[in-house]
Structure 1
Amino acid sequence: MTPLTIKDIAQLAGVGVSTVSRALNNYPDVNEETKQKILAIVEKYNYSPNQNAKILKQNATNNVSIVVKGSANPFFEVIIERMQQDLEKHGYNALVNYIDERSDEISEASKLNVEKKLEGIIFLGGTAGRFEKELTKFRIPCVVSTVYVPLPPDCNKACVCVDDRAAAAMAMDYLVENGHRHIAIIGGERGNRDGIDLRFEGAMESLRKHGIEFDERFYAESKFSLSDAYSAMSRLLFPGTPITAVLAMSDIMAIGAAKAITDSGLKIPDDISIIGYDGIDMAYFYNPTLATIKQPANELARISVDILIRLINGEKIESNQIQLETEMIKGCSVKRI
């Protein structure tokens, strides 16, 4: 009888090759039931890992790619660092790959999958519409972090995010409750069915609730960068502008916008109030301290990695769509008028 390979063991157990490898090497992240199932097969067929070391090495790379959409967003830095730590702690090689905000993340990840023989992919940021259409083309487990994606149940794909619509509504409520009616919004490109659209919808829901009509002239599109947000805010500061407050869809946008406001001779919050989104450290140390919606960066990272590892190990997860809570940080950048 031809000796079994690690691939044969994986097929008999109904799991991936990397899961067999990790079970045989007694990694703690393999489900006990799965581990015992693999060991029972190994014993039944008298499988010897040492005889198959070469095959094991060829098949189990332990490579996981973190595909990051955009390279100028400090909010992602905390998440990436935690993801790398958690993946490496479990024996995976965390390969961080940055792509431009306008790039196709699915196409880029497909190339990486072929080149690096990935065990799994974490997408950090990206376009929900594209994920919804094309994510299932990957046979390997994938987790989309910080973006909501409608996913079929019982697949090896998941998303971990916050409720962007509710969080943006909370930010807009705060501005309106402080007396503001002429409010501008600085955000990304709309129409991609992603977090930007959800945040815009949430802001609009808040305005409608308060009987305020939004003037589309006061939406300024920006990349997630200081310089682009500076330019976007500058376009809103036309002579006689009635704007008294700005909702920025990221803290980095808010800080770039704030610089444009002060450079024009206006003061924050005396002349124009501003609120951001993300809760990065820089928002706390900005002067005045920035009002913002804080996302749980460490939890987003931890849960994304935990779910990916469980999917790689062939384990079932209770839900493949996880939404975490946000927190309002009032800061000192919003004035009551």
Structure 2
Amino acid sequence: MSHPSPAVTIRDVAAAAQVGITTVSRALNNQSEISPATRERILKIAKELHYQPNRHAQTLRAQHLNNIAVVMKGPSNPFFLSLIDPIEQAIRAHGYQMSLLRISHREDEVNIGRGAYQDSGAAGVLFLGGEARESTTIFNDFPLPFVLCTIPPAPGWDSSIAAVSVDDAHGISQIVSHLTDLGHRQIAFLGPDQAERSVGAIREKAFISALKAHGISSDERLIVRGNEGDDPYSFGYGYELARRLLARQIPFTAVAAISDVIALGAQKALIDAGLEIPRQVSVTGFDGIQFARYTSPALTTVEQPIHQLADISCRLLFAKLKKQPLENPQILLQGKLLVGESTGQAPRL
């Protein structure tokens, strides 16, 4: 008894044409991202192989193309979690659905984003967090329209790269000005881990510059960085960095942390060590997560404009989807200093 030949699949066509499945799909759907010659060659091979499109799969693909992939680097970062709702609302307001890809601090977000079309059929990608790169060449052959959210642009970036973030240097400057106005001169800094190349490193550099602007030389002994392999942007990370700071036994009157969760973890360590906040030591964070307003003491921080970040990032992404020119593709937003109960006048050392 003879058995029917197995149906030719899109993978078979891709293998015969020596191209990726995405390229075959674009050729079959008459999309513009490939050259006419490539499209003609793929269609000829598909015809020779007697390829018949799977109508059910096509329907699913059409549904998937109504999808935006959000690649979130830092799955436990409360600040990123607070951004998810406004981002999803903005995506839905444009008639699309959101798929969330949560990845660890150590994973390569660009490679994950490259697979978004093949894995989830995404029409575009929004990167939430990631490496602050000096060069954008890694995106040269990126297969989908994308926008970088909370990733600040570097001076040499190509104008075709769309990015929206808070002005980290301005925010850190507000923190340092607030502390120096209160009389603080010995200010410790809880920074990123040794291998970080994202906003933590940018904020550390901004901190040193802000101290210099106020006539204060930074003391390397008061700058505490994590070890490679630590879990950054977590309460536990902040707690451990504050313990390392205390173990150095270098006098300080204030602690500035690169994020609210690190600051809150540090507050716990300082209190456990018998220090009173803010009478003996002041503490500041960065991000403005809602939880920080309800701690005791409430945290002094710089609040990031969450809804602006979400709305502008999505507006740029959908403009790119529609192939509209971007008048200003790289946008820095201003954060707002929120003075809480965790900062006060500097004590005498």
Taking structure 2 as the reference length, what is the TM-score of the superposition? 0.77
Q: Which residue of 2 aligns with 1:255?
A: 264
Q: Which has the higher contact order (CA 8 A, sep 6+)?
A: 1
Q: Quick one: distance in 2 between partners of 1:139 and 1:91?
A: 22
Q: Which residue of 2 aligns with 1:183?
A: 187
Matches within 5 A, 1:157-236: 157-189=161-193, 193-222=197-226, 223-236=232-245
Return closer, same or farther for 1:233/1:168 CA change in 2, 3 Å cut-off. same
- The 3-state SS of whatever aligns with 1:243 is coil
Q: Quick one: distance in 2 between partners of 1:112 and 1:311?
A: 17
Q: Quick one: distance in 2 between partners of 1:283 and 1:136?
A: 39
* Residue 152 of structure 1 pairs with residue 158 of structure 2: yes
* Residue 112 of structure 1 pairs with residue 112 of structure 2: no
Q: 2:86 aligns with which of 74, 78, 82?
A: 82
Q: Deviation at 1:11? A: 4.0
Whichever residue aligns with residue 287 of structure 1, its letter is S
Q: Is the 8 A contact 1:124 1:144 kept in 2?
A: yes
Q: Per-residue displacement from partner, 1:78-101 (whole Å, max 9, x unpaired)?
A: 211111122123222211111111
Q: Quick one: distance in 2 between partners of 1:288 and 1:89?
A: 38
Q: Quick one: distance in 1 between partners of 2:88 and 2:134?
A: 25
Whichever residue aligns with residue 256 of structure 2, its letter is L
Q: Quick one: distance in 2 between partners of 1:281 and 1:293?
A: 12
Q: Quick one: distance in 1 between partners of 2:80 and 2:137?
A: 24
Return closer, same or farther for 1:118/1:131 CA change in 2, 3 Å cut-off. farther
Q: Is the 8 A contact 1:190 1:197 kept in 2?
A: no
Q: Structure 1: state its 5+ residue gaps.
A: 13-51
Q: Quick one: distance in 2 between partners of 1:191 and 1:228?
A: 15
Whichever residue aligns with residue 304 of structure 1, its letter is S
Q: Quick one: distance in 2 between partners of 1:324 and 1:281?
A: 19
- The 3-state SS of whatever aligns with 1:237 is helix
Q: Per-residue displacement from partner, 1:181-232 (whole Å, max 9, x unpaired)?
A: 1111112135755322221122111111222121212222241000111011
Q: Is the 8 A contact 2:191 2:201 kept in 1?
A: no
Q: Structure 2: state its 5+ residue gaps.
A: 1-26, 34-54, 227-231
Q: Quick one: distance in 2 between partners of 1:247 and 1:171?
A: 8
Q: Is the 8 A contact 2:86 2:307 kept in 1?
A: yes
Q: Quick one: distance in 2 between partners of 1:233 and 1:198?
A: 20
Q: Deviation at 1:53? A: 10
Q: Deviation at 1:310? A: 1.3
Q: Per-residue displacement from partner, 1:153-196 (whole Å, max 9, x unpaired)?
A: 2x3x3100011112112211211221111111112135755322
Q: 1:289 aligns with which of 292, 298, 311?
A: 298
The runs of at least 4 consecutive aligned structure 1 residues that moved more than 6 Å come to none
Aligned residues: 292
Larger CA deviation: 193-202 vs 290-299: 193-202
Q: Deviation at 1:270? A: 0.9
- Report % sequence identity: 32
Instruction: Work out which of the two has the higher radius of gyration on C-alpha atoms and give 1 or 2.
Output: 2
- The 3-state SS of whatever aligns with 1:247 is strand
- The 3-state SS of whatever aligns with 1:71 is coil
- The 3-state SS of whatever aligns with 1:206 is helix
Q: Is the 8 A contact 2:70 2:98 kept in 1?
A: yes
Q: Deviation at 1:139? A: 2.7
Matches within 5 A, 1:1-337: 7-8=29-30, 11=32, 58=61, 61-129=65-133, 132-150=136-154, 151-153=157-159, 155=160, 157-189=161-193, 193-222=197-226, 223-238=232-247, 240-337=249-346
Q: Is the 8 A contact 2:136 2:158 kept in 1?
A: no
Whichever residue aligns with residue 71 of structure 1, its letter is P
- The 3-state SS of whatever aligns with 2:102 is strand
Whichever residue aligns with residue 215 of structure 2, its letter is G
